[in-house]
Chain A
Amino acid sequence: MAETTYVEAIRQGIWEEMERDDTVFVMGEDVAVYGGAFKITKGMLERFGELRVVDTPLAESGIVGAGTGAAINGLRPVLEMQFADFMACGFDQITNFAAKCRYRWGQAIPMVIRAPAGGNIHGGPFHSQNVEMPYVHTPGLKVVQPSTAYDAKGLIKAAIRDDDPVIFLEHKYLYRSVKEELPTQEYTVPIGEAGVRREGSDISIISYGWMVHVALEAAENAAEEGISVEVLDLRTLVPLDRQAILDTAKKTSKVVLLHEDTLTGGLGGELAGIISEHAFDYLDGPLVRIAAPDTPVPFSDTLERAFLPSVEDVVAKVRWLHRF
């Protein structure tokens, strides 16, 4: 059976939800005739028509506002931000209005904002950022980032069915670099559940997005040195699967917190807080953060490779932590 790429998995997920529920529509820049900058919405205009596949002017705040208004009035918008970086232009609409509607006036906003994120594609400072944290820090939003094609399809479907606004971060490097056989029967992946990608007993690496694959490769290398590494893929950043985080921390007693986002104010600090508050007595070593340095994402190959956490970086930290 043919393997499905991450990008195609997202496309299939949206497509199936549009077939299933005629209140679901897609809106964004270049999503209709062009099929989206990354071709996620390719073919949808022909299948679902221009009422449900909507090209907009270049106006991220306008798009998010229109999506929110449509959600208030009974629809389920799936909005595309051409790059996650430009979601900043709609930041006020997302954080000051959409996120607060349920709390202020009991109004559900069943809306998905899809945002291609992440580096390793030579995108430079405006097309490579990992922008999750401002949204993670906004009560009322859910934040998701799949690392596999299976999860990408299952999570986009769950996000579309969710009654809260969901920031759906897609990793651009994974779009065409990961693929797998997907089940023929319908499935969803629940928001809020992490997944153990590799069982291990000496050290846990907690990560998400592309870095899960870096962690898995590092684990493979560490195994050759006799270090058994467990890899936990968060999949959802809000709400965090605290149980899974604490379970793996208690199991191995040594934890590496790995993300592609920059260090200061990154999710690693939050995870360290949770573990030290609730599993401190289980720890046999310091909580170790591995993240990109606190700089903009650089363009040139040598700089970007130095910026992104590498397999070698992870193996070195794992080796160091193992000595405790």
Chain B
Amino acid sequence: MSTPAVAHLQTKFDRDLCERFHYYMLLMRELEDRIENKLYRQGKVVGGCYTGRGQEAIPVGSAILSRPGDWLTPSHRDMAALLIRGITPEEILAQYMGRATGLTKGRDGNMHMGCAERHCVPIISSIGASIPIAGGLAFAMRYRGESNVVFNYSGDGASSRGDWHEGLNMAAVMNLPIVYLCNNNLYAYSTPLDKQMKVADIADRVAGYGIPAEIVNGNDVLAIYEASKRAVEHARAGKGPYFIECKTFRMSGHSAHDPADYVPNQLREEWSRKDPILMLQKYMVENLGADEQDFVDMRKRVLDKISGAVEWALEQPFPDPATLEDDVYAPA
């Protein structure tokens, strides 16, 4: 059932699409950097702080294919998926700062945010639990005869949870339109892959459920885009779920408090040379006539946008304690 990795790009990528990739990857990188390395250390962001540094290509190369009627269930390392769905840096920062205008009104923190109108389900902290949820979202699409699909995001760690297996099996049996994007970043918190599973690839686990799975370079946004396109077409055509294992690396600790001393330096150095943003820039220079100045300009644009958003978020009110007991149940 497993499809071998596709080594050569089939698509001719135009500058416009690559600039969109570049923009969202850079926005995620810089926004998370501001949150983790500034606002968190300044005490303006409290609680946990999880980033997807080095993994930006995965949400960008896939979510960019989503249509308004599709649903997404991003993980905590997929901020760009939210940005692509129209969730703003302002909303994300207000969320991180626990403000009343954040997406959860201060009731939940960090990347634990979603938005019903923009069809993003917030992360479920019991990792793997979003797999059955994706099944239900997709079930409702098929129920109404729609051609929409669900983009489900999770990591290698999730693939050891029972929910992951129950959810994949049900989706396969019910032939549901789901595209699974698995960021295999080699570590579940501090636990390396060889202590998580006995098979070589997560795709091997997927094969057991009769779901087509392919393995891609998780740092190559173009490869992810192409694989996602195949997957989305497959799912929209009623052919059932499709799984993409993105081989990548977490260029941070599990969260801001974690120095990740358990990661060998050699591994970190090896992956820093495969940075997904630099990879894309190289492609744009070699194939689309972009130059260094374009990237400098783009970075400035992104940083200005973030600074404006930070300023706005810092002005936002904290939630009123009188609202503590609101919205536990539907209004009577």
Q: Do A and B bind each other?
A: yes
Please provide the chain B residues from 148 to 204 with a CB less than 8 Å away from any CB of chain A in the complex: 162-163, 166-167, 169-170, 173-174
- Asked whether, in the complex, the Cβ of A106 is within 8 Å of the Cβ of B327, the reply is yes
Taking the closest CB of chain B, its distance from the CB of A38, in whole angstroms, is 23
Query: For B133, what are the chain A residues with a Cβ–Cβ distance below 8 Å?
Result: 65-66, 68-69, 72, 93, 97
Q: Contact between A96 and B132 (Cβ–Cβ < 8 Å)? A: no
- Apart from A66-B132, A73-B140, A102-B328, what 5 extra A-B contacts exist at CB < 8 Å? A65-B131, A72-B133, A96-B126, A104-B104, A108-B330
Q: Are A62 and B121 in contact (CB under 8 A)?
A: no
A97 closest partner in B (C-beta): B124
Q: How far is the CA of A163 from the CA of B332 in the complex (A)?
A: 10
Contacts of A164 in B (CB 8 A): 329-330
What CA separation (Å) do A74 and B148 show in the bound complex?
14
Q: Are A105's CB and B137's CB within 8 A?
A: no
Residues of chain A from 66 to 123 with CB closer than 8 A to chain B in the complex: 66-75, 77, 92-93, 96-97, 102-108
Residues of chain B with a CB closer than 8 A to A61's CB: 129, 132, 162-163, 166
Counting contact residues on chain A (CB < 8 A from B), the size range is 35 or more
25 contacts between A and B (CB under 8 A): A25-B143, A52-B143, A57-B166, A57-B173, A59-B169, A61-B166, A62-B169, A65-B132, A65-B166, A66-B133, A66-B136, A66-B139, A69-B121, A69-B135, A69-B139, A69-B140, A70-B136, A72-B71, A72-B121, A72-B136, A72-B137, A73-B136, A73-B141, A102-B327, A105-B114
Contact A102/B330 with A65-B136, A68-B133, A71-B136 known, Cβ cut-off 8 Å: yes
Q: Is B79 an interface residue, CB under 8 A from the partner?
A: no
Say if the beta carbon of A56 comes within 8 Å of chain B: yes
Q: Which residues of B contact A28 (CB under 8 A)?
A: none
Tell me the bound Cα distance from A2 to B330 in angstroms.
38
Residues of B within 8 A of A59 (CB): 132, 166, 169-170
Q: B136 and A105: CB pair below 8 A? A: no
Bound state CA distance, A314 and B139, in angstroms? 49
Chain A, residues 124-164, CB within 8 Å of chain B (1/0): the string is 00000000000000011010000000000000000000111
Say which size band chain B's interface belongs to.
Answer: 35 or more
User: Of A54, A64, A69, which is within 8 A of B134 by CB?
Assistant: A69
A62 touches B170 (CB 8 A): yes
Contact of B80 with A by CB under 8 A: no
Q: How many angstroms between the C-alpha atoms of A61 and B163 in the bound complex? A: 6
Stretch from B105-113, B231-239, B291-299 contacting the other chain? B105-113
Residue among B114, B137, B144, B169 having the largest count of chain A Cβ atoms under 10 Å: B137
The yes or no answer to B125 lying at the interface (CB within 8 A) is: yes
* Shortest Cβ gap from A23 to chain B (Å): 8
Interface check A51, CB cutoff 8 A: yes
Chain A residue at smallest Cβ distance from B144: A74
Q: Compute how far the CA of A168 lies from the CA of B144 in the bound complex, rounded to whole angstroms.
A: 27
* B contact residues around A63 at 8 Å (CB): 132, 170
Q: What is the CB-to-nearest-CB distance from B193 to chain A, in angstroms, rounded to a whole number?
A: 24
* Contacts across chains A and B counted by CB atoms under 8 Å: 136
Q: A57-B166, A64-B132, A96-B125 are in contact. Are A105 and B139 (CB under 8 A)?
A: no
A162 to B329 CA separation, bound complex (whole angstroms): 10
Interface residues of B (CB under 8 A from A): 71, 103-104, 107-108, 112-116, 121-122, 124-126, 129, 131-144, 162-163, 166-167, 169-170, 173-174, 327-330
Task: Kindly state the separation between the CA atoms of A165 and B170 in the bound complex, as whole angstroms.
Answer: 22
Least distance between B103 CB and chain A CB atoms (Å): 7
Q: Are A96 and B170 in contact (CB under 8 A)?
A: no
Chain B residues positioned under 8 Å from A163 (CB to CB): 330
* Residue pair A93, B173 in contact (C-beta under 8 Å): no
Q: Report A-chain residues with C-beta under 8 Å of the C-beta of B139.
A: 54, 66, 69-70, 73, 75
Hey, what's the 0/1 contact readout for A17-47 against B, CB within 8 Å counting as 1? 0000000010000000000000000000000
User: CB-CB < 8 A to A105: which residues of B?
Assistant: 103-104, 108, 113-116, 122
Distance to closest chain A CB from B311 (angstroms) = 25
For the complex formed, measure the closest distance between the CB of A106 and the CB atoms of chain B, giving whole angstroms: 7
**B contact residues around A142 at 8 Å (CB):** 329
Shortest distance from the beta carbon of B158 to any chain A beta carbon, whole Å: 13
Q: How far is the CB of A53 from chain B (nearest CB, A)?
A: 12
Q: Is the CB of A104 within 8 A of B112?
A: yes
Among all A-B residue pairs, the 10 with the closest Cβ atoms: A69-B136, A65-B132, A62-B166, A73-B140, A59-B166, A66-B136, A70-B136, A163-B330, A69-B133, A69-B137
Name the residue on A nearest B141 (C-beta).
A73
Q: Is A62 touching B132 in the complex (CB atoms < 8 A)?
A: yes
| Chain B CB within 10 Å, residue with most, of A71, A73, A96 | A73
Check A65/B116 contact, CB under 8 A, given A70-B137, A96-B124, A140-B328.
Answer: no
- How many angstroms between the C-alpha atoms of A64 and B130 in the bound complex? 11
Q: Once the chains are docked, how many angstroms separate the CA of A71 from the CA of B140?
A: 8
* Nearest CB in chain B: distance from A62 CB, A: 3
Cα–Cα, bound, A68→B121 (Å): 11
Q: Is the CB of A66 within 8 A of B135?
A: yes
Nearest-CB residue, chain B, relative to A64 = B132
Residues of chain A within 8 A (CB-CB) of B115 are: 105
Pick from A68, A69, A103: contact of B138, CB under 8 Å: A69
Residue of A nearest to B326 (CB): A103
In the bound complex, residues from chain B placing their C-beta under 8 Å from that of A57 are 166, 169-170, 173
